[in-house]
Structure 1
Amino acid sequence: MSSTKTRAALRASARISGELLLVLVMTAVALWLLGRMWSVVWPLIVGLLLTTLTWPVTRFLRRHGWPPALAASTVTVLFLLAAVGVVALIAVPVASQSGELTDGVVEGIQKLREWAAGPPLNIGDDQISGAFDAGVARIQDSVGSMVTAVVTGLGTVVNGVVTTVLALFLMFFFLKDGPRFLPWLARQLPGRLATDVPTVAARGWETLSAFVRSQAIVGLLDAVLIGIGLWILDVPLVLPLAVLTFVSAFVPIVGALFAGLVAVLIALVSNGLTDALIVLAIIVVVQQLEGNVFQPMIQSRGLGLHAAVILLAVTLGGSLAGIVGSLLAVPVAALIAVVWNYLREQLGDPSQEPGTDEPHAAAAVPS
């Protein structure tokens, strides 16, 4: 290779490296700004996800002559009533059987104590009392940290309530004024952007809708399979536990662990250790099927992503941002794929007018 070609190759490599470095710096700045504005961005994201869940009903009402404000208000109220109904469906049976469950807990603790006192552990009452006293002393020494944890927990609860209220208000406005957003956005943008950005936004909206629908289907499969297992074992509170499993499916990792822990505890205090272990096995099998079969297959079909991409996205999102990262990993990956596919279409066929393949998209998107 001649020295001229070598210098040209080095200059090209340096230019590409500089451009990539600039992109990484701008990405880091964008992520930093996103973190600083997270108190506003997170309710916006939740509001959008709730809108994808409630928009089909709103669209049906609007197509049948309902005014936008009335349709949005009705759907918002119905959504709140449905949420309250889900809570009542879980809380009322639990409250009605709270006495039985309390007796079962006491009996279970006594059985556990008797089992610990026998072979092979041979733990006597004096040892249990000593361990209890040591635990009480440790708790007394940790009062300061416990108060701090309680205050932090209260702050988290308050932030959650504020986020929920803001998300509901945003959902109402998205349902009411969403279809006017893309035409307004097209009027604000110059030149080609007036077509490209609304088209990408329309496809992104369809992707978010597919994500929410697929998550609901996965949660329904979990609830049905685990509910059948609990019903066969004659575990009490089957319906509330199935509803709890369905709702918790929208919160990855922690939701499944929480619902599974509740089911195992109720089986333990009501049916004994053997049935509790069987329930645990059922939940583990169902969760493995969900994470490795149901969710990748359903979401890959609805979002246009390969199952391996979804698994890697959830893993990366969880390692970067915990629960929120796991929740948003799949839709973010799908939105990135939407942008990439659109760019590939435009670069692959420059003669095609942008957006002509989906002339009706702007009219179908609520936000």
Structure 2
Amino acid sequence: MPVLSTARSRTAVRTAARLSAEMLLILLMTAVTLWILGKMWSVVWPLTVALLITTLTWPPARFLRRHGWKPALAAATVTVAFLLLAAGILVGIAVPVAAQSDELADGVVDGIQQLRDWAAGPPLNIGDDQITSAIDSAVAKLQSSIGDIVNATVTGVGTIVNAVVVTVLALFLMFFFLKDGPRFLPWLTRQVPGRLARDLPEVAGRAWNTLGAFVRSQAFVGLLDAVFIGLGLWIVGVPLVLPLAVLTFVTAFVPIVGALFAGFVAVLIALVFKGLTSALIVLGIIVLVQQLEGNVFQPMVQSRGLGLHAAVVLLAVTLGGSLAGIVGSLLAVPVAAVLATAWDYVREQLSDPDPPDEQAVLLPGE
């Protein structure tokens, strides 16, 4: 039986200890970086939103600049056009809904009555006295929780105000990015010394291309969701198909919650206008499309556009959602792609040069 070498064992233990200490140092630096980002979140979040929006609006701004427009004029034109498009989307959703608000309210009442009639029949056989008792219990619980509701309302108002502030800041930042974006990399080159003057601009340029690929792929996936779900709603005969399709496309940029919200609205409208059977059919269509989108379309499109494996995309979304909720799910894939881009560049710089061709060093006659 072979005997362990004391010298080799000590070397192995020392190597493992050194690697463990280096890994702990890296984890510590990562934790400190995340803590600093958390303290600066009021600035980081608008900056991130502005960068994501700029990747969509930069192509038309670049087109105008190439055709002789001044940078400020091109940026202002694209910014105004983006605001008008966003306002048009909101109007396209709100106007048809407002026009049928009375019919929608009547449908809600009829839908509630249908649910009560269905609950009163077999197999549930829930009587009116049980429903009344449940309503009374709900009202009593609501009255006892009035303080929590007020606090939640105040928190919700604060969240809305914060969202408005973030949106305004993001729009201003988008304008400046569109106007002065091409100057950033030369400016960054002048600010850092030595090799960083070459490495940082290269990584930043690759990261920008990666963000653009992410936003374009997300928009494409949202368009697929809107087309297929809108087609299913049209076949079933649900009203407000166009607003629901637009809502599906817009909420596709907010993973998980966006799809649930758009699906809930579609099922509710199908219930109040077409009845329970149509609502169940719409629910089945939405579940099918969401399963195809989440497990097939999105991983395939994002893996091609971002250079990430489909499994990495799924794991990144899961990890981001568990760590930071909706925001984490939204930023998980682009962050993973940017990190992969930086790692690819580092690996390129640390790799040994390709070995010379063996045939080139063969002696004549060999």
Superposition TM-score tier, normalisation by shorter sequence: over 0.9
Structure 2 partner of 1:363: none
Amino acid at match of 2:243: P
Q: Does 1:63 align with 2:66?
A: yes
- The Cα shift of 1:138 comes to 1.3
- The Cα shift of 1:344 comes to 1.3
Distance 1:202 1:62 in 2: 19
Instruction: Write the mapping of 1:28-39 to structure 2, written as runs, cut at 5 A.
Output: 28-39=31-42
Q: Does 1:159 align with 2:158?
A: no
- The Cα shift of 1:110 comes to 1.3
Question: Deviations 1:277-324 (Å, cap 9, x if unpaired)?
Answer: 000000000000000000000000100111011011111111111111
Structure 2 partner of 1:309: 312
- The Cα shift of 1:102 comes to 1.1
Structure 2 partner of 1:254: 257
- The Cα shift of 1:132 comes to 1.6
- The Cα shift of 1:11 comes to 2.1
Question: Deviations 1:109-141 (Å, cap 9, x if unpaired)?
Answer: 111122222233222222222222221111111
Distance 1:184 1:311 in 2: 36
Q: What secondary structure sits across from 1:79 in the alignment?
A: helix
Structure 2 partner of 1:203: 206
- The Cα shift of 1:268 comes to 0.5
Instruction: Write the mapping of 1:279-294 to structure 2, written as runs, cut at 5 A.
Output: 279-294=282-297
Q: Does 1:45 align with 2:45?
A: no
Structure 2 partner of 1:15: 18
- The Cα shift of 1:17 comes to 1.2
Structure 2 partner of 1:27: 30
Amino acid at match of 2:171: L
- Can you give the 5+ residue segments of structure 1 that lack an aligned partner in the other structure? 352-367
Q: What secondary structure sits across from 2:162 in the alignment?
A: helix
Name which of structure 1's ranges 110-119 and 271-280 shifts more when overlaid on structure 2. 110-119
Which one has a bigger Cα radius of gyration?
2
Structure 2 partner of 1:77: 80
Q: Relative contact order (alpha carbons < 8 A, sep ≥ 6): 1 or 2 greater?
A: 1
Change in 2 beyond 3 A, CA 1:162/1:350? farther
- Can you give the 5+ residue segments of structure 2 that lack an aligned partner in the other structure? 355-366
Name which of structure 1's ranges 8-17 and 51-60 shifts more when overlaid on structure 2. 8-17
Q: Does 1:109 align with 2:109?
A: no
Alignment size in residue pairs: 351
Amino acid at match of 2:330: L
Amino acid at match of 1:29: V
Structure 1 partner of 2:349: 346
Structure 2 partner of 1:170: 173
Structure 2 partner of 1:360: none
Q: TM-score, normalised by structure 2?
A: 0.94
Question: Deviations 1:239-296 (Å, cap 9, x if unpaired)?
Answer: 0000000000000000000000000000001111111000000000000000000000
Structure 2 partner of 1:362: none
Amino acid at match of 1:21: L
Name which of structure 1's ranges 340-349 and 153-162 shifts more when overlaid on structure 2. 340-349
Please give the root-mean-square deviation of Cα atoms over the aligned residues, in Å: 1.2
Structure 2 partner of 1:264: 267
Amino acid at match of 1:288: Q
- The Cα shift of 1:349 comes to 4.4
Q: Does 1:237 align with 2:240?
A: yes
